[in-house]
Amino acid sequence: MTERDKILGRIREALTISAPPPGEHGPETHHLAGHPIQFAPRPAATNAREWLPKVGETFEDQVAQFRACSDDLKTEFIVAESLADLPKILGDLRDRERWKQAAAHRSDLTDAAVQALGLPTLTVDGGYDVRALERCDVGITTCDALVAQTGTLVVTSRSSGGRALSVLPPHHLVIARRDQLVADLPAAFELIQQRYGADYPSMISLVTGPSRTGDIERILVLGAHGPKKLTVVMI
Amino acid sequence: MTTEVQEFKTQATKVVGDLRHRKLIQTALGKYEVARDKRKGAFQSWSEARQVAAETKWDAINHLDEHLVSFADKLEARGTKVHWATTAAQARDIILGIIQAKNAKCIIKSKAMTAEEIHLNAAMEKAGFEVVESDLGEYIVQLRQEPPYHIVFPAMHLTRHDISDLFEKHLGSAKTDSPEELTMIARRALREKYITADVGITGANFAIAETGMVSITENEGNARLTSALPKTMISLLGIEKVLPRMADLALFLPMLATAGAGQPLTCYNTLYGGPRQPGESDGPEEYHVVLLDNRRTELLADPEQRDALHCIRCGACLNVCPIFKNVGGHTYGTTYSGPIGSVITPHLRGLQNWKHLSYSSSLCGACTEACPVKINLHHHLLQNRRNSVQKEADPQEKLIFKLFAWAMNSPGLYGAGKSVARWFGPLHRLVMGTFLDPAKAWTKTRDLPPIAETTFKEYWKNRQ
């Protein structure tokens, strides 16, 4: 008998006696073996939207909410009219932050950003030198979605250049399209499941603001281990 | 008295009188409460969300066998090795086996309370490995050779000055009173470790049965790096971590962030579904998931307290507990402190040695009220007390209650006792609190009201 069988055996034996439904602690009537209680738990997945913080319905409302969350989180959020605006926006960023070396993965949006920046760029697709990536000033990625409700971006190991590109360099620059903005977290999970089905990437990360810690006297410090700065450019 | 009780009493007495400690905890938790209430207010219905979260966890725990099988099978189908450990020793051996087979030297770890539970660091260090905690708070307490003070805020009991002195001593950094500079010192020290470590070890917040994924919640990015750079990744998690569906996270992630730290959402919530897949540019070549029982199935077998396995380790019950705030996290002497620790430790480590934790409670119910998955915490403390007496009553206590019952049942004896008490009352006041006082343990911290001049019986007689 394997350890798996032993543990599952103990679990099945324990579960022959039913537990009272949550939130109830009346007389101990449920504890009779062989008398499973009739209780249909409601799954959090089905109606989470009803209880979570409210999100505006129009695109403008949702952009405004994403901006408000970004301000709270200290994410820099820039809306660009079109790809043609990228050279100006990214050029200003590059000069302000004094970027010398960038890293990116290949995609339409990131290629446009790399071209706009005009910096020496490490491409991570197919493998890369970790130390070289660590020396880069900025990691440029796309994302799967922006979530208005919480100011979150969804990155994956497939859509955002693997696991490290979005977290190792001190600045994470995300290029997104306006149709990637979704209202809330349930919509984000729906999108992930529709896009990938059973063939999902090995890492899916919901990123909400630049890296932070409050471990010293509960005082907020940005850039604990991940990026100190996060910039989202929505086209 | 067992040594655990003595240790608890000695530590508690010491910490309760420590004004510096009190001020630190009050400041930290005061900030937490303001932030948490603001975030709770943003929910359309926090109370309904709690009820549904509780029902979802009920489903997860009451069908644990099915969910675990699905979780493990889905992970294995995509190249992850899933290990099952009944005991802490088995889990340690499994992990040591993996890192030895990899010829590893340096291990980087992100925060994992289950690793504390099985004393993994000590075992790895004893076997000759260098182990580095990467969460800032955990890194600090590791340098101090201390267990974490709180399950979410490990270094909550320290000031920036304490940490500056610590870094000066161990890392040779210059003194500073800026939390930002201190954080950057740790960032620089740990960067090199992520790159050179051979194995990364993480805990987990949720195990998604539907898709076979491990979900990790963190603010710093240290778990992201721990699972990105080393060639081998290991996640250690208790079997109770399951959630049935991926989309359940849409509710659980914001609830965990709100209850745990007063945040709308924690900075990084990451799902791991296997090692590096074809076409991906990085990630570990091997991914191991270790599922730990360590007497959780015993708690599962107690339907009355089974909901203690719903716990998502947010720490909300610690943050509101008047006992935790006064005695502090280390006094408990357990991996899991605060109300949830007092409830589950007797199940994990034995009732008789740990029942005292269930008595160190005001039964105010603040913990039950704070719990995002509605664990019936303060009732469970009462049930632990009941169970401990039913199993093995203290003979002295038994005798006292017998005498008490006898006196209360015989009016003559009760009357006589009262008269004696009235005579002895003033005498007792003379010695109260001194070493001559036979009730010193009680009167040291409590006042005894004076006994009334006339009894109710006498009063009634005179009135008629």
Q: Chain B neighbours among A 23-62 (CB < 8 Å)? A: 23, 25, 28, 30-31, 39, 41-45, 47-54
Does residue B266 sit at the A interface (CB-CB below 8 Å)? yes
The CATH class given to the A58-234 domain equals: alpha beta
Tell if the CB–CB gap between B64 and A15 is shorter than 8 Å.
yes
Is residue A1 within 8 angstroms of chain B, CB to CB?
no
**Distance between A88 CA and the closest CA of chain B, angstroms:** 29
**Contact criterion met (CB < 8 Å) for A215 and B248:** no
CA distances from B231 to B133, B278, B285 (A): 17, 15, 5
Spatial CB neighbours of B354, under 8 Å, sequence gap ≥ 6? B4, B334, B345, B346
Query: Do the interacting molecules here have an ipTM over 0.90?
Result: yes
Look over chain B and give the mean of its residue pLDDT values, rounded to a whole number: 94
Residue of B nearest to A185 (CA): B250
Chain A residues within an 8 Å CB radius of B252: 44
User: What is the nearest CA distance from B435 to chain A, expressed in angstroms?
Assistant: 41
Q: Is B382 on the interface with A (CB under 8 A)?
A: no
Which two structure tokens, joined as six digits, stand for B25?
């905890």
The residue in chain A having the minimum alpha-carbon distance to the alpha carbon of residue B287 is A202
User: What are the backbone dihedrals phi and psi of residue A114, each rounded to the nearest 5 degrees, phi first?
Assistant: -60, -40
pLDDT at position A36: 56
Nearest CA-CA distance, residue B282 and chain A, Å: 5
Q: How far is the alpha carbon of B405 from chain A, nearest alpha carbon, in Å?
A: 26
3-state secondary structure (DSSP) of residue B392: coil
Q: Determine the pLDDT at residue B380.
A: 96
What is the full per-residue pLDDT of chain B (464 aa) written as tens digits? 678 999 999 999 999 999 999 999 998 899 999 999 999 999 999 999 999 999 999 999 999 999 999 999 999 999 999 999 999 999 999 999 999 999 999 999 999 999 999 999 999 999 999 999 999 999 999 999 999 999 999 999 999 999 999 999 999 999 999 999 999 999 999 999 999 999 999 999 999 999 999 999 999 999 999 999 999 999 999 999 999 999 999 999 999 999 999 999 999 999 999 999 999 999 999 999 999 999 999 999 999 999 999 999 999 999 999 999 999 999 999 999 999 999 999 999 999 899 999 999 999 999 999 999 999 999 999 999 999 998 888 888 889 989 999 989 998 888 888 888 778 877 887 887 777 887 787 787 777 777 777 888 888 999 98
Q: Which residue in the set B154, B239, B303 is minimally distant from A7, CB to CB?
A: B239
For residue A37, what pLDDT band results from cuts at 50, 70 and 90?
A: low
Q: Which residue has the tokens 């990026």?
A: A227
CB-closest option in B58, B180, B219 to A41: B58
Question: CA B93: distance to chain centroid?
Answer: 24
With an 8 Å Cβ cutoff, is A12 touching chain B?
Answer: yes
Compute the half-sphere exposure of residue B10: CA atoms within 13 Å on the CB side of its CA: 8
Residue ranges matching CATH 3.40.50.10420 in chain A: 58-234
CA nearest B120: which of B52, B30, B199? B199
- What was the pLDDT predicted at A25? 56
Closest chain A residue to the Cα of B272, Cα to Cα: A203
Encode burial over A118-136: b for 16+ CB neighbours within 10 A, e otherwise: ebebbbbeeebebeebbeb
Domains in chain B and their CATH numbers? Answer: 1-42+310-392 (1.10.1060), 62-294 (3.40.50.10420), 396-463 (no CATH)
CA atoms within 13 A on the CB side of B158: 29
- Cα separation of B73 and B80, whole Å? 9
Q: Strands (DSSP E) along B177-284, which ranges? A: 199-202, 206-208, 213-218, 232-238, 242-243, 268-272
pLDDT tens readout for residues A123-176: 999 999 999 999 999 999 999 999 999 999 999 999 999 999 999 999 999 999
Contacts of A189 in chain B (CB under 8 A): 246-247, 249-250
Q: Do A203 and B271 touch (CB under 8 A)?
A: yes
Residues of chain B in contact with residue A162, where contact means CB-CB under 8 angstroms, are 228, 280-283
Which residue of chain B is at minimal alpha-carbon distance from A13? B301
- Reported as type and span, the H/E element at residue A27 is none
Chain A CB within 8 Å of residue B273 CB: yes
Residue A115 has pLDDT above 80, yes or no: yes
Q: Between these two residues, A25 and B426, which has the higher pLDDT value?
A: B426
Measured in angstroms, the CA of A38 and the nearest CA of chain B are apart by 12
* pLDDT in the model for residue B355: 93
Interface of A with B in 188-217 (CB under 8 A): 188-190, 192-193, 198, 200-217
The distance of B163 to chain A (nearest Cα, Å) reads 8
Give the pLDDT band of residue A29 (cuts 50, 70, 90): very low
Residues of chain A neighbouring B261 (CB-CB closer than 8 A):
214
Rg of the Cα atoms in chain A = 23
Side-chain-side CA neighbours of A29 within 13 Å: the count stands at 7
- Of the candidates B293, B253, B247, the one whose C-alpha atom is nearest the C-alpha of residue B114 is B293
* Per-residue pLDDT, A84: 95
Is A53–B184 a contact, with Cβ atoms under 8 angstroms apart? no
Q: Burial letters for B277-311: b for 16+ Cβ neighbours within 10 Å, e otherwise?
A: beebbbbbebbbbbbbbbbbbebbbbbbbbbbbbb
Residues of chain B in contact with residue A28, where contact means CB-CB under 8 angstroms, are 304
pLDDT in the model for residue B105: 96
**B residues 402-461 closer than 8 Å to A (CB):** none
pLDDT for B79-104, tens place per residue? Answer: 999 999 999 999 999 999 999 999 99
Touching check for A105 and chain B: CB below 8 Å? yes
Q: How far is A22 from chain B (nearest CA, A)?
A: 6
* Contact across the interface for A14 and B379, Cβ inside 8 Å: no
Q: What is the pLDDT of residue A30?
A: 47
Partner B contacted by A63 (CB < 8 A): no
Distances (CA, A) of B353 to A98, B175, B202, B239, B356: 61, 43, 30, 25, 7
CB contact under 8 A, B267 and A207: yes
**Interface mutation vs chain A, best among B78, B297, B302, B309, most A CBs within 10 Å:** B297
Q: Using the beta-carbon criterion (under 8 Å), do A130 and B229 form an inter-chain contact?
A: yes
- The letter for the amino acid at B414 is Y
Instruction: Give the mean pLDDT of A108-119.
Output: 97
Looking at every residue in chain A, the average pLDDT score rounds to 93
Which residue in B134, B173, B268 has the most chain A C-beta atoms within 10 A of its own C-beta, making it the best mutation to test that interface? B268
> pLDDT tens for residues A166-213?
999 999 999 999 999 999 999 999 999 999 998 999 999 999 999 999
pLDDT of residue B430: 81
- In this prediction, what percent of chain A has a pLDDT beyond 90? 86
CA dihedral B290, B295, B300, B303 (to 10 degrees): -170
